[in-house]
Amino acid sequence: MRNVGFLTIGQAPRPDLSAGIEAALPATTRVRHVGVLDGPDPARAAERLAAAPGRPTLITRLATGATVTLDEAAVGEALQHRVDVLEEEGVDTVVLLCTGEFPALRARRALLVEPDVLLTTYVRGVLSGVPMGVIVPLPEQVAAARDKWRGVEPAPEFATASPYATDETELLDAARGLVDRGAGALVLDCMGYADRHREALRAGGVRVPVLTSSGITGAMTGPLLA
């Protein structure tokens, strides 16, 4: 029996991020949900990890529905503490529910599943040579995204649209703009983007392939734990 910990940078649980991945896991899997902002005062915890001007930024959502932006480096340190605790509690697989880059994050014994690594590996293999459009939540994340996807040929085009908007208008505009600029496939580079976002793009007339981080993570994690 596998003991899997889903680890979010926000407040757990986040079924909107984990449901598709959980569905791909063996039926006997035990699941735990843990968040960096868990505790009696998540808003205050978010303030301690708040994004600093000019530094890499992440976006997440609290249980209240409020969105917060966090400093990527500070989140990385908090994630390491949570990974250590999960391992001490007997979790053998930790699934990170974020596509941020955390190169220093380590697990001593558990399998650490990092969507960032899975997504970039999959896309570089499957979409090799395909003009690609990448959508990230915030304008201030575009520079980091360009660095993340460096070396991909042809060089991707980028656009922004929050996965936590009240409707998909911004996402549709971003996707259509990328397709107009020649994108032959779209990558939604944040775990906040889900099947409903891909379906909204289809309904809105976007016909190129659309890959979501959560979809790729689920498809690649399930066989690892079978």
Q: Within this chain, do residues 191 and 220 fall inside the same structural domain, yes or no?
A: no
Distance CA(130)–CA(41), nearest Å, equals 45
CA angle 129, 133, 136 (to 5 degrees): 135
Q: Are residues 70 and 143 in the same domain?
A: no
- Whether omega before 131 lies within 30 degrees of 0, making that bond cis, reads no
Tokens of 56: 């890499």
* Higher pLDDT among residues 131 and 24, named by residue: 131
Of all residues in the chain, the percent with pLDDT exceeding 70 is 100
Q: With 90 as the cut, is the pLDDT of residue 41 above it?
A: yes
Q: What is the pLDDT of residue 225?
A: 83
Q: Are residues 36 and 90 in the same domain?
A: yes
Close Cβ partners of 119 (under 8 Å, ≥ 6 residues apart):
99, 187, 189, 211, 213, 216, 217
Task: pLDDT band for 222, please (50, 70, 90 cuts).
Answer: confident
Structure confidence at residue 141 (pLDDT): 96
Q: What is the pLDDT of residues 201-217, one digit of tens each?
A: 999 999 999 999 999 99
Q: Say how far apart CA 222 and CA 151 lie, in whole Å.
A: 29
| Total-model pTM | 0.93
pLDDT tens-place string over residues 62-97: 999 999 999 999 999 999 999 999 999 999 999 999
Average pLDDT, the chain: 95
Closest of 78, 92, 98, 88 to residue 38, by C-alpha: 78
On whether both 60 and 22 belong to a single domain, the answer is: yes
Same domain, 25 and 108: yes
Same domain, 168 and 79: no
Q: Identify the CA nearest to 51 among candidates 78, 75, 33.
A: 75
CA–CA gap between residue 214 and residue 98 (Å, rounded):
9
**Model pLDDT, residue 167:** 95
**Do residues 67 and 141 both lie within one domain?**
no
**What CATH number is associated with residue 142?**
3.40.50.2300
Q: Are residues 110 and 221 in the same domain?
A: yes
Name the residue range of residue 94's domain: 3-114+216-225
Q: Are residues 53 and 125 in the same domain?
A: no
Please check whether residues 204 and 221 belong to one and the same domain.
Answer: no
Asked if 171 and 188 sit in the same domain, the reply is yes
Average pLDDT for 5-24: 94
21 shares its domain with 110:
yes
The answer, yes or no, to whether residue 226 has pLDDT greater than 80, is: no
pLDDT tens, position by position, 4-14: 999 999 999 99
Q: What is the pLDDT of residue 53?
A: 87
pLDDT digits (tens, 9 = 90+) for 103-161: 999 999 999 999 999 999 999 999 999 999 999 999 999 999 999 999 999 999 999 99
Number of structural domains in the chain: 2
Per-residue pLDDT, 213: 93
